[in-house]
Amino acid sequence: MFDEMWGAIEHLGRDDRTRGYLRDAWSPADLELRLWFEQEAARRGLGTVQDRNGNLWAWWGDPSARPGVVTGSHLDSVRQGGAFDGPLGVVSAFAALDLLRARDFRPARPLGIACFTDEEGARFGVPCIGSRLLTGVLDPDRARSLTDDEGDSLAEVLRRAGRDPRELGRDEETLRHIGVFVELHVEQGRDLIHRDAPVGVASAIWPHGRWRFDFHGQANHAGTTRLADRDDPMLPFARTVLHARQAAERDGGVVATFGRTRVSPNNANAVPGLVSAWLDARGGDEDAVRALVAEVTEFSGAEVTVESWTPLVDFDTALRERIAAVAGDAPVLATGAGHDAGILASAGVPSAMVFVRNPTGISHSPEEHAERADCHAGVAALAAVLEDLCGN
Ligand SMILES: [Zn+2]
């Protein structure tokens, strides 16, 4: 079941030159994946509901009668990302449901499979757009006006996909359906290798955020403009990258990354007029993360906009201990990566995460991997967790 589903989507959005994935939200590859989700649900006799924010929900049972147990993840990717971040959780959700049905299990509570929209934020810069809109932490007006690299707004992109952008916003009805959410995800570190365990459970997600730095200058000819006459924003940007790295090294408990830039006009023979760059900063201690960002902001001289901020997420202790026990005494570990489960947990939805070992620890790269045997172990653990949570 798992292998067949994996084989059916493996090629979607893959760059054959790099083997990396390009699954931007609402791109043709993403739309195909969403269709695949609906087809897999239909194969199991489940209808798919799209909520106001474009998240997909396939329900076994009626969640309006009683809030359900939901599992799932996302199907979009970072640019040139790996195959596992997101899809592993969705494919495992369907495979776990198949395992439960093969055992003739009848859930006492509705069981839902979810696919959250635009988790990575690759296209519009803000991560977890689907779950942030659902829970109301992202302002719908702001979401509608976010633009991609082509200058298209999210509102326009949604309209083109046949959706009404006016519907965006906190969705009480959908939230009422979620009694508990369990997200299975490929591990994005090397903890489980050191613990020699195929499956683990999340304890917490580090506080993390993204800030856009706009360095303004004057676009001009790269050959005829004398150095003394230039106002080149690439220079303060370059100094700021180095400064962020040094500040993180000095702190020791924080990581800081400039991984995305937008240069205008982006010509090899022009001094740029504007450099926009995104700082991603995370750490175990919220004050330390904020202090680092404040320092880098002041140093940069740039115009800085907070694009997202997620405080420390401490997953429900009783729930995570219960899940760890059911998943065969799985180890419990903290992560520096953000997830929809973290957004839901912050909004008061009891949430948990199951991690599947990644033999290299590499993620957000074509090298991202999970051994097939570990994927199967993840499905078995997830099925046991769902059986436990749905059984009463
Ligand atoms: Zn993910």
* Average pLDDT, integer, range 102-112: 95
How does residue 392 score in pLDDT terms, banded at 50, 70 and 90?
low
* Average pLDDT, integer, range 260-266: 95
Distance 119 CA to ligand 1 centre (A): 7
- Please, which contacts does 25-28 make with residues 24 or more away whose CB atoms are closer than 8 Å? 25/76, 25/117, 25/118, 25/120, 25/122, 25/123, 25/124, 25/129, 26/118, 26/123, 26/157, 26/158, 26/160, 26/161, 27/123
Instruction: Give yes or no for residue 156 having a pLDDT over 90.
Output: yes
Q: What is the pLDDT of residue 9?
A: 97
Name which of 50-54, 180-184, 189-193 the model is least confident about: 189-193
Distances (CA, A) of 370 to 14, 18, 233, 243, 272: 17, 19, 41, 35, 41
Q: For 24-51, write each residue's pLDDT tens digit.
A: 999 999 999 999 999 999 999 999 999 9
Q: What is the pTM of this model?
A: 0.86
* Average pLDDT, integer, range 239-257: 95
Which among 128, 119, 121, 123 has a CA at the least distance from the CA of 74? 119
Distance 109 CA to ligand 1 centre (A): 26
Q: What is the pLDDT of residue 334?
A: 85
Distance 32 CA to ligand 1 centre (A): 18
Distance 145 CA to ligand 1 centre (A): 24
First to last CA, the chain: 27
Q: For 318-365, write each residue's pLDDT tens digit.
A: 999 999 999 989 999 988 888 999 999 999 999 999 999 999 999 999
Distance 157 CA to ligand 1 centre (A): 22
* Average pLDDT, integer, range 65-72: 96
* Average pLDDT, integer, range 241-267: 95
Distance 74 CA to ligand 1 centre (A): 6
What's the chain's average pLDDT? 95
Q: What is the pLDDT of residue 106?
A: 93
Alpha carbons within 13 A on the beta-carbon side of 149: 15
Q: For 287-317, write each residue's pLDDT tens digit.
A: 999 999 999 999 999 999 999 898 898 899 9
Distance 273 CA to ligand 1 centre (A): 34
Distance 367 CA to ligand 1 centre (A): 15
Which among 388, 390, 320 has a CA at the least distance from the CA of 355? 320
Distance 325 CA to ligand 1 centre (A): 24
Distance 265 CA to ligand 1 centre (A): 32
Q: For 108-127, write each residue's pLDDT tens digit.
A: 999 999 999 999 999 998 99
Instruction: Give yes or no for residue 93 having a pLDDT over 70.
Output: yes
Distance 120 CA to ligand 1 centre (A): 7
Q: What is the pLDDT of residue 391?
A: 86
Residue pair 385/373 in contact by the 8 Å Cβ criterion: no
Q: What is the pLDDT of residue 338?
A: 86
One-letter-per-residue 3-state SS of 366-380: CCCCCCHHHHHHHHH
* Average pLDDT, integer, range 174-190: 96
How does residue 22 score in pLDDT terms, banded at 50, 70 and 90?
very high
CA distance 337 to 315: 14
